[in-house]
Structure 1
Amino acid sequence: MAHDHGGLAGHGSHAGHVHGTSDKKRVLLVACLTGGFMIAEAAGGLITGSLALVADAGHMLTDSIALWLAWYAFHLAERPATGRLTYGFGRVKTLVAYTNGITIFAIALWIVYEAARRLMSPPEVLAGPMLAVAVLGLVVNIAGFLILRGGDRGSLNMRGAVLHVLGDLLGSLAAIVASLVILATGWTPIDPILSVLVAVLILSTAWSLMRAAAHVLLEGVPPELDRDRIAGDLQRAVAGVREIHHMHVWSLDGSRNMATLHACLEDGTQADATIRAIKKELASKHGIDHATVEPEYGVCADGDHRH
């Protein structure tokens, strides 16, 4: 069996390290912004009686924790592989992304519950102070969103962080609209109604993030790749390859793609040269930089190549 020695530290690893270092700093900065403003927004929500502000403050509390977890995931991912963790800590970022999706679901459900309770018994809302706090929150969230948007958009961990801040941004917008309506008409039910709208908007995006993270954790084929087409391409492009089977394609963390496969070679084909050609084809045409290739002649060593 031939291995792509040092594959995880090979092609694209420098670019990945640069992205990771930059993303780590971005997430840390936004975590500090979010955590700092969350305290002010919570106080404003309690003083004004606004569910929109309280809900957004609760969201920002969880977001601050999630952002710190995202930062720590980037920190762990920088650690080298060990004898027991041979792929290192890169997958921690995906675990954090999945956890972030779950927390967003929990927050959205709480907002819906609280909104229903307030619709049945609308409290008094101080719209003026509510508007001031919401506008300040919008400025903070826009700044955080722009900082994170400049990071690696292919990273599930960054997508989770961006999603949390986007939810906060929408929450601030809802609070602004609600306060303006209350100031103009005195109709307080607009506050919980808009809170529910924000919850529904972020639920679909949270579900998308969870599905993507779960797909990585289950070692599914990356969405942009087609395992059967790749196997067919290798059979056509690499001389001496009679058949490709037992092929598995997956991603370690949503960005680094990997593969293992059996290559059944024609008699007389030089194995080393063919394996190098297969790995070159995988890297250049399909973005798979880490591959393990098992050369075979005649019958498959496992006795069954229907996988």
Structure 2
Amino acid sequence: MAHDHAPVNTSKKRLLVVICIVATVLIAEVIGGILTGSLALLADAGHMLSDLTGLFIALFAMTIAAKPASDRATYGYRRTEVFGALANGLILCAVAVGIAIEAFGRLMGPGDTEVIALPMLLVAIVGLIANLVSMLILRAGAKDSINMRGAYLEVFGDMLGSVAVIVAAIVIMLTGWVQADAVVSLLIAVFILPRAFLLLRDVWRVLNESTPVGTDLSAVRSHMMNSEGVSDVHDLHLWAITTGEHVFTAHVVVTDEVFAAERVGATLDRLTECLHDHFDVEHVTLQLEPATHAAHEAHTHD
């Protein structure tokens, strides 16, 4: 089945725009961190650098995934998106751990670093606005693609970093307590890790070829059993190549009348439409067989 490349091209354009925005803010934070002496800005710039790497990975994975199927890759390269999401999830984990280690180091330190809070605050506000715009650009694609979801989480982490720097700058301006930066950074790390875990969990489900979340295999079997001429369904397998692209195979036992009346084609059409309409299955492979054939199969399961 041919894929519509319009959503892919739209997602790539969104990623390119966000990459430009993140790269611009990254440069601004590095310059701002050096001029103000703010370790918070430099730490957030490091965070954004890791996220920029993740965005490039997402773009690369999406480009490869758009390649058509071939004799060597019969399902195409769509699963490359999943590996891109895996890389993004691991980067998120590394960033969270790095932020936590740095935060603990600052909390244990003397806390006498001089920080020019006002320029630090202004740069962080610019970063926050840029991250919010980036999130709005990526939000639509994050619903349909695990790869875009990973990119969205990268920018979401950047947004939290900007908020943390803003809070730290305000506290430093009002109280002079520079350790505020370390406290909010640690909170960010705690907030990022669960989201990275959820992304990696979704990646594991796809790579493990688990039944997609929200799909009841027994309900699929019941729908097929209610089709005219079907007496049994076994060896059901339902998995996802990538987010939203489900694959289904099964052995369908049909009555002798289906073969005698040459209704095999009509039965296949009916079952395929049922799976597509009710369970959003794109690739369907069914083996129709008489009741006597199942007894000859060495390995069958419900």
Into which bin does the TM-score normalised by the smaller protein fall? over 0.9
Return the letter of the residue paired with 1:82.
Answer: S
1:132 counterpart letter in structure 2: L
Match of 1:104 among 58, 80, 92: 92
Identity rate of aligned residues, in percent? 39
Deviation, 1:88, is 1.0
Moved more, 207-216 or 115-124: 115-124
Q: Quick one: which of 245, 248, 256 aligns to 1:267?
A: 256
Between 70-79 and 245-254, report the one with greater CA deviation. Answer: 70-79
Q: Name 1:27's counterpart in structure 2.
A: 15
| Alignment match, 2:74 | 86
Kept in 2: contact 1:23–1:152 (CA 8 A): no
- Equivalent position SS for 1:90: coil
Cross-structure match for 1:178: 168
Contact 1:235 1:241 in 2 (8 A): yes
The answer for unaligned runs of 5 or more in structure 2 is: none
1:241 and 1:304 mapped to 2: Cα distance?
A: 20
Residue in 1 aligned with 2:272?
279
Secondary structure of the corresponding residue to residue 151 of structure 1? helix
Write out per-residue CA displacement over residues 172-200 of structure 1, whole angstroms, 9 at most, x where no aligned residue: 01100110010000011110100111111
Structure 2 counterpart SS, 1:299? helix
118-127 or 183-192, which deviates more: 118-127
Shift of 1:305: 2.0
Whose RCO is larger (CA < 8 A, sep 6+)? Answer: 1
Quote the residue 1:60 is aligned against. Answer: 48
**1:201-236 superposed Cα distances (whole Å, 9 cap, x missing partner):** 111111111101111111111102111210111101
Aligned length: 294
Query: Moved runs in structure 1, 4+ residues, more than 4 A?
Result: none
1:251 aligns with 2:240: yes
Amino acid at match of 1:252: I
Aligned counterparts, 1:94-243, within 5 A:
94-121=82-109, 122=111, 123-236=113-226, 238-243=227-232
Give the Cα–Cα distance (whole angstroms) in 2 for the partners of residues 42 and 255 of structure 1.
39
Give the AA of the match of 2:279. H
**What TM-score does the superposition give when structure 2 sets the normalisation length?**
0.93
SS state at 2:285 partner: strand
Helix, strand or coil: the match of 2:251?
A: strand
Deviation at 1:152, TM superposition (A): 4.9
Please say if residues 141 and 149 of structure 2, whose CA atoms lie closer than 8 Å, have aligned partners that are also in contact: no
Matched residues in 2 for 1:302 and 1:53: separation? 65
In 1, the alpha carbon distance for the partners of 2:142 and 2:155 equals 16
Superposed displacement of residue 32, structure 1: 1.5
Task: Report SS of the residue matched to 2:257.
Answer: coil
Under a length normalisation based on structure 1, what TM-score does the superposition of the two structures give? 0.92
Q: CA deviation at 1:109?
A: 0.4
1:291 aligns with 2:279: no
Q: Which of 43, 57, 62 is matched with 2:31 structurally? A: 43
